[in-house]
Structure 1
Amino acid sequence: MERTRREAGLTQEAIARRLDISQAHYSKVSAGLVPLSTKLEKRIRDLLASDKLPPIRSRSTELDEIDKLSAAIRRDTRQLLAKLRAFKSA
């Protein structure tokens, strides 16, 4: 399982995110520290055998989106404050 994951160029985090489990849980399962359920084993095998792995957003992409949203919020806040000041002074 781990060899196949590495050959696919995927991190434990990437696989865990696609399976909707934590990276810590995936790590424990792959190390044999936690029993592997039949259901999870099938999901892992199906995922690793898939020709088309579903796309996953990287952390850097998520951080870029957060930065853009933060900048937009700061801009909108400045505009609202300017309008409020103009309203109060009128």
Structure 2
Amino acid sequence: MKLISIKQAEKLLKKSIKTNKPRKITFLTKKKDRSLTIKTTTDFYFLTEKGYCNQVKKLNFNNLDDKHIVNAAFKREFPRSHWVYLIEK
């Protein structure tokens, strides 16, 4: 588990959405009470929010609206955070 800045986390999030390699990335707040997990497969990706909203969404790589959903979820779960923990698998 690494502690990274919020700007690095946003860049990593955008990079993981562009590439459709199978991987799993989890972002946690410093208190570890909120998390955002992105699990990518070859065709689509799952977005799991735990904290403010508890939901799982199945999104497409080709749809631009889905990319905005991911960014909105990131802003919703980490509104005032400057640092997040990163778990990468």
Q: Which has the larger radius of gyration?
A: 1
Q: Higher relative contact order by CA 8 Å / sep ≥ 6: 1 or 2?
A: 2
Q: Please give the TM-score of this superposition, normalised by the length of structure 2.
A: 0.28
Q: Please give the TM-score of this superposition, normalised by the length of structure 1.
A: 0.28
